[in-house]
């Protein structure tokens, strides 16, 4: 008897779980978690999804901050969401500073590693992000995608949503 594979929502960080800012979010004083994010994460957990953060952190390659800063922000997000997040994958690379890396989105290596580690079924899983590269990474890994975009922008995702709470509602409705 085989164990059923798990379902997962892969989450971009900046622009999805927290407000993005042009100079990177690596200091707790700059961390702003939008209204509805903790509620959305809890909704997805209750629906049985693993929640895994998949984020490019090029500021590390640029020497602006360290991996420790990424973990500090992640811990603050865990506290805000009642420890809803199951894991964190980040790519510390930038092509102009550290060379190319398959882990950097739009590459799908971070998702593929999580899929293998947690025995995730891509057909039951999702990628939520605010950039085209997030949609490409999700599609490359074989998961459905939800693009967080303003109504005025064209979406590259399978679905579009205004924010994480809207995206969570789409997923729960479709998977019900």
Q: What are phi and psi of 104, to 5 degrees?
A: -75, 130
Annotated active-site positions, please?
Answer: 12, 14
Grade residue 103 by pLDDT with cuts at 50, 70 and 90.
very high
C-alpha neighbours within 13 Å on the C-beta side of residue 113: 15
Query: How far from 49 is each of 4, 122, 144, CA to CA, in Å?
Result: 13, 12, 14
pLDDT at 4: 81
- Give percent of the chain above pLDDT 70: 99
CA 57, distance to chain mean position in Å, is 12
Give the DSSP H or E segment for 35: none
What pTM did the predictor assign? 0.96
**15-20-25 Cα angle (round to 5):** 125
- Average pLDDT rounded to a whole number, residues 153-168: 94
User: All domains of the chain, ordered by start, with CATH?
Assistant: 8-175 (3.40.50.1000)
DSSP state of 137: H
């Amino acid at each position: 008897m085989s164990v059923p594979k798990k379902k997962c929502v892969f989450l971009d960080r900046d622009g999805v779980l927290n407000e993005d800012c042009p100079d990177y979010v690596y200091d707790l004083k700059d961390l702003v978690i939008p209204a509805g994010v903790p509620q959305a994460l809890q909704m997805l957990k209750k629906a049985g999804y693993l929640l895994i953060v998949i984020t490019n952190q090029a500021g590390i390659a640029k020497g602006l901050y360290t991996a420790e800063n990424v973990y500090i922000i992640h811990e603050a997000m865990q506290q805000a969401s009642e420890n809803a997040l199951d894991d964190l994958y980040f790519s510390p690379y930038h092509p102009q500073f550290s060379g190319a890396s398959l882990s950097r989105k739009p590459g799908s290596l971070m998702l593929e590693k999580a899929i293998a580690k947690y025995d995730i079924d891509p057909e039951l899983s999702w990628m939520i992000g605010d950039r085209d590269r997030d949609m490409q990474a999700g599609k490359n890994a074989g998961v459905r995608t939800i693009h967080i975009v303003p109504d005025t922008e064209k979406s590259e995702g399978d679905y579009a949503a205004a924010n994480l709470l809207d995206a969570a509602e789409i997923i729960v409705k479709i998977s019900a």
